[in-house]
Structure 1
């Protein structure tokens, strides 16, 4: 749980920082630069990619593609400019430093630009995985609601009920399109599907609209869907138990038996060396290596093993509710 909370805090911080960073660059540098006609033509032809809008929506980043791409461009150009300035500065001190600064700065800022370019794709993929995992908890309630109420009322209740962040965002979009933009429920769902990063949820919503339009029985659909999902979860849990059994054997051999065996053998060899030489100096290096093993390597190995166990669990079992809703 601590690992998951730390990951959540890091993710939120990175999203907020990148949004603020892009807004700042666009407002004070990008927008004035785009007013220059020659640069605007160059930007539209060589830099801007309108298809990227779908990635930004799926990543739930509150910015337009123009703002994001000009931020990437300014970051790379500004970084390269800074590298060149520092290179000339270090030329007066040491040419070797100047070469290192130039190539190091170029690689660094190109890597930052590449990271920015791929960031929405990575976030969208992560959101899609979380939504897929949350469907496990969504389907039982949809099945219960479908027995008594209409699709419109079902969406309203589910939107209020959901306690998992990413899937709640998608249902909030449906409510927004319906209540604020005046879409009917079917159009609102189809519009929200366009920016949904989860194929599972998009297929589920599409099936709901199709069945509702055709006058079919949504309850029977959810019943079949839930039955298939339960079989899939049973298979996943079985594989997870088998994986944990393998990990437990690795843990016993590498992190329990091996250190104990090493400590015992080191002690025996130290005694043999002491008896042969009549001095304790011969075992000094072995004692130091044992101390390093016990105080440094083993704690790190235990932490790494705990993280391995945690992240080997299925994602749906690692989801945490939105704070204040649990």
Structure 2
């Protein structure tokens, strides 16, 4: 019997409307690839995050809990950063992702650690047949404290693993693809919409409850990028649930360059209702080789 236990509490359909797709919680031993509805995958991750504190001892081994609650070492070399990333990849996979993310990553070099101080990109996922996660050793807001860069890299890893989980198991049947195609404006899907944020926020809170350092998974900037790139406008109740201040967000948007979403964003700035609602899952174009760009803006 597996040491790791996941509660099915709340997975009977409460919180989302069943779509007729299979549930990944019924296939944990043998997941069936891209057959699961994205919103339902997000919901299951939310449940894992929300029950993590009460189930931590059954999901993680003692040494994993000790690492999570301990100090993050100060490292400077690429091999040391990679070693930390691989340890936390295992911890997060068991804690939140049903131990299914590593199964889908490529066998050789599932994580690539690099150093690039030319831009503010913290990490990204390349959506190949066997994806891999890239993490930048450079953190532009390094405060010089011991372990600062490693802590940010760990938070970025949690961010990118959610993208990988959704990439590996989100359904691509004709119905789902038709629905997705009708909402995207060409190019690659950029998964920083409401479905992603709904899971990312509880994940960040769950991690924060166990560590001694401030967790920053870059959710605010991801929402900002999504809005600027596509015109997606989150609802007020969503922003409240995510802990994002509407006024501060709109101030940040107002400083961004002209975008396709200017009309929708201006309407939000004016606090007016639009006749045509901007849907939560509009897609946005970025680099055609990346499914996620996690950066500091």
TM-score interval (norm. to shorter): under 0.3
- Which one has more relative contact order, counting CA pairs under 8 Å at least 6 apart? 2
Query: Larger % of strand: which?
Result: 2
TM-score (norm 1): 0.23
TM-score (norm 2): 0.24
Larger Rg: 1
